[in-house]
Amino acid sequence: MIRAQGGHGRRSRPGRGLSLDRIVTVTLELMDEQGIGAATMRAVSSRLGVRSMSLYRYVQDRDELFDAVVERIVNELADDPEVQLRPVDGWRPYLAGIAHGVRRYARAHPHAFPLVATRPPAAPWVNPPLRSLRWVEAMLTGLAREGFSDEQVLFTYRTFNGFLLGYLLLETSAMTLRDPKPGDGSFTGT
């Protein structure tokens, strides 16, 4: 679990401005620029101008940091003006809006998107690429309110996520192959 800023009630040293938000921002920037593999605790702390151990006041390890990055990426949906949390004009435009929003965040972070697909979810029934309990619950509730039966809700949820994830993995993989980064495993080093 990600700790609150300053973890265990400790505050960052004056003048450093270190926070979980800033750490996640820099980590995502590093992934976008150099690929996932480049986002080591040492590289993140170096970019922040602090010692590596300073990061452990905010996250337990690199895995927890990656979970925070995934949460940041998925939360971009909430800031997307074209994405609605619940259906307003019917279920088709609602699902299309979510799909376009997820595609926008996947294309914005193609080198980091594999984390969205592969990090263990918060609950076993949460499927990528939505990955957020808030968005999954909203989708399930919204579809039920649109008249979907329980079976139709489950089928739509699984089909929507499965198709969208597969398509976006293909699309972002092609993007990363056209723009390889040293830390994403596709770098050829020419």
Which amino acid makes up residue 157? Answer: Y
Instruction: Provide the pLDDT confidence category of residue 16 given band limits of 50, 70 and 90.
Output: low
Least confident of 10-14, 48-52, 55-59, 95-99: 10-14
pTM greater than the 0.75 cutoff: yes
pLDDT for position 186: 53
Given a cut of 80, whether residue 13 has pLDDT beyond it is no
Band of pLDDT at residue 190, cut at 50, 70 and 90:
very low
- Which pLDDT does position 183 carry in this prediction? 82
**Inter-residue contact 82 to 101 (CB < 8 Å):** yes
